[in-house]
Amino acid sequence: MSRLFVTLALVGLLFGAAVVAQGRMMPIREASVLVPKGSIYYKTIGTGQPILIIHGGPGMDHRYLYPHLVDLARDHRLIFYDQRGTGASQCKLTDKTVNIEQFVRDIDAVRRHLGLNRINILGHSWGGLLGVHYTVRHPLNVRSLMLINSSGLTGESQKEFFDNLDKMRSEEEKEEIKAIDKDPAYIAGDLDLYKRRSELQIKPYFFDLEKLPKLAYEVSPLTVKNNEQVRTWIWRQLLQYDLRPQASRIRAPTFILHSDHDVIPVSVAEETSETIPRSTLVVMKDNGHYSFVEQNKEFLEEVRKFLKTVRGP
């Protein structure tokens, strides 16, 4: 079994019924919201201004983010959720139910279910782009927007990302990924093959490969089963689009955090910052796509610094 996905004892503790921070017990609430053709799982922890956390992928779930962001619950109410078809969010998978429009509706279903008027949004990778999609459709619901190593605002930026990935993998790694993709056991949801493919997939995303095992987390069986299909349907929508005209009208304070060794080029983050009027760009040095894993302390400091500048109800 790959050491990347060995479940750490710390991670197991964090997924318990409560977390201890600053000498007090913070209960975790877990539930699901009924949505068309399925249900959306969420968990909340902490008190204060709410931050809805949108995971990347497409086809992943919230578990890889949770251990690295949970410290923010000392100051805020964190809302983690699984996008439909992954984690613990059940969904009938078709191209009619797995698409960006439906993903945006799911976010709003969670917000309304929790009785929240305005939310801070923190999105990682594809989750950042999904956060932009939500914000341009529901601007009055967003207090602030945080884009962490986020995908770009155009289909061209996605092609740039794929080109970078291709250059950063060895021919042997590419061939192994292709072989796994065709393996009937992988298509049927084999856990070991999923873990091996994920290790190969994620390797270029790290600047310091010694920190790669820190991404360890317990994989959801539903994520293993549906990852390929969810990813395929969403990526089809991400190759030809231009969200810049809509994003230029965003008025929510926006924090863009990127890394100098991210597989998504810094130029993509710079274009996003130039497009969104009230945005601030921070580029972390000697860091990769999982900035909150490689430099967790510095990452949390930057996020907290931004949140202190956000005013209003």
Q: Which domains does the chain have, with CATH numbers?
A: 3-307 (3.40.50.1820)
Percent of the chain exceeding pLDDT 70 equals 92
Distance CA 53, CA 311 (A): 19
> Does the N-terminal peptide bond of residue 245 adopt cis geometry, omega within 30 degrees of 0?
no
Contact in structure between 18 and 27 (CB atoms under 8 Å): yes
Reported confidence tier of residue 275, pLDDT bands at 50, 70, 90: very high
Residue range 193-234, pLDDT digits in tens = 988 888 888 899 999 999 999 997 888 999 989 988 999 999
Across 106-110, average pLDDT: 98
pLDDT at 252: 97
For 7-16, 138-147, 254-263, which range has the lowest pLDDT when averaged over its residues?
7-16
The pLDDT score that the predictor gives to residue 16 is 43
pLDDT, mean over the chain? 90
57: how many CB neighbours lie within 10 A of its CB? 21
What would the two tokens of residue 295 be? 């430099």
Burial of 264 per CB tally in 10 Å (0-12, 13-18, 19+): buried
Strands 77-81 and 38-45: antiparallel
